[in-house]
Amino acid sequence: MNTCIIRLFFIVSGLTAASLADTRAWAAAELPIDYAMSLYAEGNLLYQREKYEEAIACYRQILSLPYEAWEVHYNLGNAYYKTGAYSHAILAYERADRLKPGQADVQQNLALCRTKITDEREVLPSFFLQDFWRRTVRLMSPNAWAGCLLGFVAGLLFCIICYSLSHNYNLRRTTFYGAFILLAAAFIAFMACLSARKARFKPEAIIMVPQTEIKARPEATAETRYLLHEGNKVEILDEIASYCNIKMSDGNQGWIPAADIEKI
């Protein structure tokens, strides 16, 4: 009996400590919001006055806080674009797109930025169903898809309960078919949530230097396969010491100095 009481005490103590830790973390995260909002307003004002470098400093200061929003990355990209720093602008737009997929303004500005880079590489063709699924997943963020999943599961449980407790034929028939529909919807939402999360954390980077050599091996003396210029997006396949194995949109691979890229 005493052992059970002691175990219960430790369980409750642990839960209380975790709750207090979460509260402190939440409070710490809430503290800089007012400051971040004031910096955001100041950055927007500086941008309107065409003081783009000062606006960039404000937006970057916001991103150094435990506070992140796609609007900050978007405005930062706009300010970088105005200064001609297209690789930095592309990086900012890509980060904004990951936080809030499907924003038309972000996509338009990103496409405009890409017209400014030197390299024009073809994209490997994909099956039309893959393109359709990719566009569908990008309609919402991972959290939004997770919310849909919870809603569908709740509806599914409601239908199951109604079907089990009701003796009305029409109601049982409706909830039976409704359960199958909600089950299918929940499965789609689950897969979309996984795909959106995978896309959100996909290891990609932007080349930040004017020109870099793509090597055959992760060595400075290795053969140079081709050259890439700033602003190109690459997928990171592997990292060894100071080199990253990257893959381009056209399927070409090679090794690039890690210092020449910045992860999205």
Summarize pLDDT for 14-44 with one digit per residue, the tens. 433 433 344 444 444 455 677 888 889 999 9
More confident residue, 221 or 78: 78
For residue 137, tell me if it sits in a domain.
yes
Question: Are 239 and 255 within one domain?
Answer: yes
Instruction: Give the range with max mean pLDDT: 35-39, 68-72, 200-204, 243-247.
Output: 243-247
Look at residues 72, 92, 114 and tell me which one is the last residue of a structural domain.
114
**pTM for the predicted model, two decimal places:** 0.72
For residue 122, tell me if it sits in a domain.
no
Number of domains in the chain: 3
Q: Which domain holds residue 189?
A: 128-200
For residue 188, tell me if it sits in a domain.
yes
For residue 103, tell me if it sits in a domain.
yes
pLDDT band at 248 (very low <50, low <70, confident <90, very high): confident
For residue 25, tell me if it sits in a domain.
no
Residue 11 CA: distances (Å) to CA of 16, 23, 192: 9, 18, 36
Name every residue whose Cβ is closer than 8 Å to that of residue 258 and which is 6 or more positions away in sequence.
239, 242, 243, 244
Question: Are 184 and 214 within one domain?
Answer: no
Pair 107, 74: CB distance under 8 Å: no
Mean pLDDT (whole number) for 216-226: 88
- What is the amino acid identity at position 83? T
Asked if pLDDT for residue 222 goes beyond 50, the answer is yes
User: How many distinct helices (H) and strands (E) make up the chain?
Assistant: 9, 7
Cα–Cα distance for residue pair 36/219, rounded to 1 Å: 43
pLDDT at 123: 59
CATH of the domain at 225: 2.30.30.40
Average pLDDT, the chain: 83
Mean pLDDT (whole number) for 89-98: 94
